[in-house]
Chain A
C-alpha cells in the first residue's frame, strides 16, 4: 500500500479513538443532540487530540532537521539543548517581566532555544567528524548543564512549579481549548520546512557537496535552526517536552524511505502524529480512569525503539 494514504487513515483512526476515550463517557453519535457531550468534545477532547497530533508531527519534522544540520542520526530536539534553552528563555522573561504578554514569552522562548541550539551546532562543528557518538554525548551534556541551570534558577525564584511542567516529560491532560493553539505555530513552522526540503537534504550531504551545488549552507542552517527552535519552544511551553519522538521517528522513516526529504517529510509528520497519539491513548487506557503522561509512555517505548534501531543499524549511520 502507498505509505501516505495508509498513514493518513491510521492517524484519523487514532484521532477518532482519542476523541472517544476519557473520564466522561460521550457517545460520538449523540453529540449533536447532547449539548453536554458537545461541550466536552469541543472544549477538551478535540483540542487534546489535535494538540497530540500536532506535537507528534512537528517534533518529528524538527528531529529530521536537526539531524540534517548536525549530520548525525543520534540526536533530536530533546537532546540538543533546544528544549532547555526554551525553558531558560521562558524563565528569564517570567522573572524579568512577570506580566509579559504571551506572544512576548513565546518569542523569548524561541530566541533562547535558537541561541542554545546554535551553541550546540558550534560545539559539534569542532568535533572530529568520524566520532559519531561524540555528537549525541555533547548534546546530552549541554542539555544536562542547561537543565541544571534552569532548575537552579527555578528553585531560587520559587518558580519550580512552572519549570517542572516545561522540563518534565510532557503530557496532554491539561490541554483545553484556548490553551494549545500555539501548537499550530509549531505545525506551520514544520510545514514551511517542507518547501526547503531539498535544501535540507543537500545540506545533509555535507558542506562540500552542498557548496559545490551552489547552496549557501549558512542560510539553510539558519532556516533549520529557526524551525527547530520555534517547534521546540512552542511544544515545551504548551505541553512540556515529549522525549524520543524527534529521535526515533526520523530514524524509522529513513531506514525505509531514505533521506529524500521532499518525499519523506510528510511521512515523518504522519508517523510522528500516529506515534504520539498512540502513546497518549495508551497512557489514558492502562490505568483508567487515571492517566500516565504521554511523555512517560514515550520515554519507555521510545527508548526500546531506539535500542532496537541502534542494534539494527551499523554505527556509521
Chain B
C-alpha cells in the first residue's frame, strides 16, 4: 500500500497540493484522474521521491520515502515521469537494460539479461533494440521507457501518462500487461487522461482537482456522470459496456 498523509506542496509561493491524505491499495491498479494542472504529476513525483517532500508523510509498502535510502526505494518502486524526452544517445536495449541497474549495480547476471529481453519482447521492441533512442518514433521511445520501468521489476509501478504517444493497439497492450502484473500481485499507480482506459482497467480511482482529492474509491463508484461532469466542468454521459462504465463525451 502507498499511504499519503497530510501532504502539501508549494512551488515558490504557489500552493500546488493542499493537505492530501489518500491511499493507493496494494495489489490493485489505481488510476489518478483529473483536469490539467490538478496536481496529479506533482503527487506522483512526490511519491516517487523525484521531488523533495515538503510537508506530510508518504510510505510505499511500509518504506517511508523520506528516510529510506534512494537506492533501496529503487528496488521497491519504479517510476516513469511525464517528461521522457532525454538527450542521451542510447540504444533501446541499453536503455531498457538500465532498468536492472538498481538490482545489479553494474554487474548484470543472466537473470537480469533475461528480464531485459522479456521486457523488450513484451513491448514489441526486439526488432528496434539496436536503434538509437533519438532515431525512433515518439511512441517507440515511450514504449522503451515503459519497458525500462517494467524491467526494473518492482512491487510498485508508478506511471505518469504512459499512454502518451501510444497507438490504440499498443495502449491496449500496455493496459493488458499492467492488468496481468496486478493480477500476479504487483501494484500499479498511473495517471490517465483517457477516462475509458481507467473505466475499463482500473480497480481504484483517485480523482483530483485544484490540488485536492475530490473523490476516491472503486472505479464504478467514482466514474459517475455527476462526479465527472463536475471534475472536468463539462457535460459527460456515462453508459455501460460489458459491465464496465463507458464514458461518452462526443459532441
Interface residues of chain A, those whose CB is within 8 Å of chain B, are 71-73, 198, 201-202, 204-209, 211-216, 254-255, 258-260, 316-317
Contacts and interface: CB of A to CB of B under 8 A. Distances in A.
A211 B101 contact: no
The main secondary structure of chain A at its interface with chain B is loop
Contacts, number: 79
Sorted nearest first, the 7 A-B pairs with minimum C-beta distance are: A214-B74, A214-B71, A258-B89, A214-B102, A204-B88, A208-B81, A212-B79
Nearest to B82: A208
Contacts of A258: 89-91, 94, 132
B71 A215 contact: yes
A259 B87 CA distance: 10
Interface residues of B, number: 32
Given A72-B87, A259-B89, A316 B72 contact: no
Contacts of A205: 86, 88, 90, 95, 98
Interface string B71-106: 111110011110100111111001100110110001
Contact of B98 (A72, A207, A213, A317): A213
Nearest to A317: B87
B112 interface: no
29 contacts: A71-B87, A72-B87, A73-B87, A202-B98, A204-B87, A205-B86, A205-B95, A206-B88, A207-B50, A209-B81, A211-B49, A211-B70, A212-B74, A212-B79, A212-B149, A213-B98, A213-B102, A214-B74, A215-B70, A216-B70, A254-B89, A258-B91, A258-B94, A258-B132, A259-B88, A260-B91, A316-B87, A317-B87, A317-B89
B48 interface: yes
B134 interface: yes
A213 B83 contact: no
Given A205-B98, A259-B90, 12 more contacts: A72-B87, A73-B87, A201-B98, A204-B86, A206-B88, A207-B50, A212-B48, A212-B50, A213-B99, A213-B152, A215-B101, A260-B91
B79 A214 contact: no
A255 B102 CA distance: 28
Interface of B: 48-50, 69-75, 78-81, 83, 86-91, 94-95, 98-99, 101-102, 106, 132, 134, 149, 152
A214 B73 contact: yes
A214 B87 contact: no
A209 B86 contact: yes
Most B Cβ at <10 Å: residue of A207, A209, A260, A316: A209
B135 to A, nearest CB: 10
A198 B48 CA distance: 22
Contact of B86 (A73, A206, A214): A206
A215 B74 CA distance: 9
A206 B88 CA distance: 9
Contacts of B72: 214
Nearest to B145: A209
Contacts of B91: 258, 260
Contacts of B134: 316-317
A261 B88 CA distance: 11
A227 B98 CA distance: 23
Contacts of B149: 212
Contacts of A206: 86, 88
A206 B80 CA distance: 12
A207 B79 CA distance: 12
A159 to B, nearest CB: 41
B230 to A, nearest CB: 32
Contacts of B74: 212-214
B70 A201 contact: no
B106 A198 contact: yes
A212 B81 contact: yes
Contacts of A71: 87-88
A198 B108 CA distance: 12
Most A Cβ at <10 Å: residue of B48, B80, B88, B90: B88
Contacts of A211: 48-50, 70
B40 to A, nearest CB: 16
Given A254-B89, A260-B91, A317-B87, A214 B70 contact: yes
A317 B48 CA distance: 28
A255 B74 CA distance: 31
A235 B79 CA distance: 41
A216 to B, nearest CB: 6
A153 B48 CA distance: 49
A263 B99 CA distance: 18
A135 to B, nearest CB: 11
Contacts of A317: 87, 89, 134
A198 B86 CA distance: 16
Nearest to A130: B85
Contacts of B81: 208-209, 212
Contacts of A204: 86-88
Most A Cβ at <10 Å: residue of B78, B79, B86, B87: B87
